[in-house]
Homo-oligomer: A and B are copies of this chain.
Amino acid sequence: MKNVNAEIISVGSELLLGQIADTNAQWISQQLAEIGINVYFHHTVGDNEARLTEVMTLAQKRSDLVIVTGGLGPTDDDLTRDVAAKVLQKNLVVEESILEKIEQYFVKNNIAMSENNRKQAVVFKEGIILPNEEGMAQGMYVEHEKKSWIFLPGVPREMKSIMVKHGFPFLQKKYQMNKQIVSKVLRFIGIGESILEDRLSDIIREQTNPTIAPLAGEGEVMLRLTASCQNEAEGFAFIQVVEDKILARVGKYHYGTNDDTLESTVLQLLKQLNLSIASAESITGGRFIDRIISLPGASQVVPGSIVCYQREVKEKVLKIDEQLIEKYGTISEQCATKMAENIQQMMNSTIGISFTGNAGPDMSENKPVGTVFIGLKIGTKEVVCKKYQFTGVRNTIRNRAVKKGLELIYHYLKNNNLPTV
């Protein structure tokens, strides 16, 4: 396999106006990565002849393979064919078989065909057609001075259909791709990105196949291991060796792989251990339990929960002693502890978790914005209550509290800190 460096050009003023996101470039990149073609650039340009010429000229110079989406439609705005013909010194001809299909379409649908629809039957004389089974604008392949170009319509459904049926198989054959790329994401919680990298810096530096790329997520860190290989089995074997090395150092923080989420991992653990959970939520207002109920199978482990937003509900419904609140306030270790105990009892669950704090915008009970207490009652053990100071705006604070609650539960269950019931 030779090393192929690709570039994707997206043509369309609607992209530069921000009316749509460039999901075409994303999808093509993903697919190319999987067959082992490196994408080095995405370049987006509007429906403008001079700028499109500039972008195509640059691509011809720097890339082995250029994939262009958009600008193949019937209107005057659609310049891709004409500009490409000039830059790549090709001739444009009407392809009769396509023209026929277009005419048939209009007859069949009983619509008058306008002159500019003929434009979609125009192709490069020196090129190959990559048929579009979903629409009128055909895909095209053409070469210029040893560089390869693929032209595709911008409509995602049509573009994907052409690439899956004709484009990718063509490229794999052309470049004799017998290699493929497999990857695996390892997910970590409770360790910062920079510390994780510090601990693994020698492994990350020395590692070439698979490569290791750290990714920062919302309140968590991920490592993507990507292997180049002859087949999947070989790729995952390469990855396993490195994964073992990584987990020997930071396995303590590792909670899942690929599409796992912290809540799906926690739900899985609760099910395995046959435990149930209920929450008493003030600051998080139901968001914690909603995260778990988002997942199918939650009904096995969640009996219910209480959102106790106002003090009165903490007292009257959750039965927290009025004097306790009078003395310590609702944003306190004492209140969080009682909330966790009482919700466990009320819902008859193995685990009770509580959240109380200040999400802003102002100080509350003399506690600054971001102060959160989380109480965790597991079985007959004493409540563990932790105080946090989160940063960010209202819902960032609330999300961080939810994530921290999941992390706490995960931590306790994983370390076999199991309930004695």
Contacts of A39 in B (CB 8 A): 16-18
Q: Is the CB of B296 within 8 A of A302?
A: no
A 389-416 to B, binary, CB cutoff 8 A, 1 in contact else 0? 1011111101000000000000000000
Task: Judge if A91 is at the interface, Cβ distance under 8 Å.
Answer: no
What are 27 A-B pairs at a CB distance below 8 A? Answer: A16-B39, A16-B42, A18-B26, A18-B30, A18-B31, A18-B39, A19-B224, A21-B26, A22-B26, A41-B55, A43-B43, A74-B194, A76-B197, A108-B389, A109-B389, A281-B286, A285-B290, A286-B307, A287-B290, A290-B290, A296-B361, A298-B309, A303-B309, A303-B310, A304-B306, A304-B307, A317-B347
- A350 at interface (Cβ–Cβ under 8 A)? no
Comparing A212-220, A245-253, A372-380, the segment that makes contact with chain B is A212-220
Given A198-B116, A303-B310, also A296-B28 (CB < 8 A): no
A405 to chain B, nearest CB (A): 13
Q: Which residues of B contact A19 (CB under 8 A)?
A: 30, 215, 224
Which one of B17, B214, B286, B290 lies within 8 Å of A33 (CB-CB)?
Answer: B17
Instruction: Check A44 against B17 for contact (C-beta < 8 Å).
Output: no
How far apart are A293's CB and chain B's nearest CB, in angstroms? 3
Considering the complex, which residues of chain A in the window 38-61 have a beta carbon less than 8 Å from any beta carbon of chain B? 38-46, 48, 51, 54-55, 58
Q: Please, which residues of chain B bring their CB within 8 A of the CB of A38?
A: 16
A-B pairs, top 9 by smallest CB distance, nearest first, are A286-B286, A285-B293, A18-B30, A18-B29, A304-B313, A42-B44, A305-B307, A286-B290, A21-B26
Query: Which residue from B26, B117, B281, B391 sits with its C-beta under 8 Å from A20?
Result: B26
